[in-house]
Amino acid sequence: MGNPPQLPPYPTPMGIIPHFITQQSETLILKEKMISLSGDSFDVKTVSGQPIFKVEGSTFSLSGRKKVLDMQGNHLFTIRKKLIALHATYYAEDPNENVVFELKGKFSIGSSKSIGTFKSVGGKQESLLMKGDFFDRKADITDEATKQPVAHIDRQFFNMRELVGGQQTYAVTIAPNVDMSIIVAMCICLDERKNEESG
């Protein structure tokens, strides 16, 4: 695996969970568990192997729920799909069922685009554009207004392992001052949409 890209710091803290806002550029690895009786479940670790998040899937839910927990087992939010929506739309609810994040797919020929919106800890309404190539092997997440990169997703690092194990594996590099949990939520939505389109 090559060196992950280094991204410049975002000018102000961006995110919904302050203690997951990175101080330096951070690369996380998301892997589906090989065998899971409860649907797609991911472990999210740093490149060095330190676990950061646990993501539990549910196959018994029409909205394909994914529960995101910290490593102490605290429920951070649950990602769900809106069943009645023109474009693929996902949202995250905090443990009190307040919507804290929404991701909407946009149609575009040759690539996929999604817009993630949420209110940052400082009260600013944020809008992130996730744009990937046709096969979603790579995607960039940028601030929609300023075009500044906040994260880069790359699946090509792990192609051989994926072919052997049938697992999806992602490397996502997150800029300093950005909440890792929001970017992980966007990756999960990207994976859900890709699985639906190919399924």
Tokens of 34: 């090989």
On the question of pLDDT at 165 being above 90, the answer is: no
Average pLDDT, the chain: 81
At residue 182, the pLDDT reads 95
**How much is the pLDDT for 134?**
46
CATH 3.40.50.2000 fits 22-198, yes or no: no
Q: What is the DSSP letter of 29?
A: E
Per-domain boundaries in the chain: 22-198
Does the pLDDT value for residue 93 go beyond 80? Answer: yes
* H-run or E-run covering 184: helix 180-198
What's the pLDDT score for residue 126? 96
Q: How far is CA 51 from CA 30, 43, 137, in A?
A: 10, 7, 24
159 contacts 6 by C-beta, under 8 angstroms: no
The arithmetic mean of pLDDT across residues 53-72, rounded, is 79
pLDDT of residue 37: 44
| pLDDT tens-digit series, residues 14-26 | 999 999 999 999 9
- Mean pLDDT within 138-153: 93
Of 31-45, 71-85, 104-118, the one with minimum mean pLDDT is 31-45
Helix, strand, coil content of the chain in percent (nearest 5): 15, 40, 40
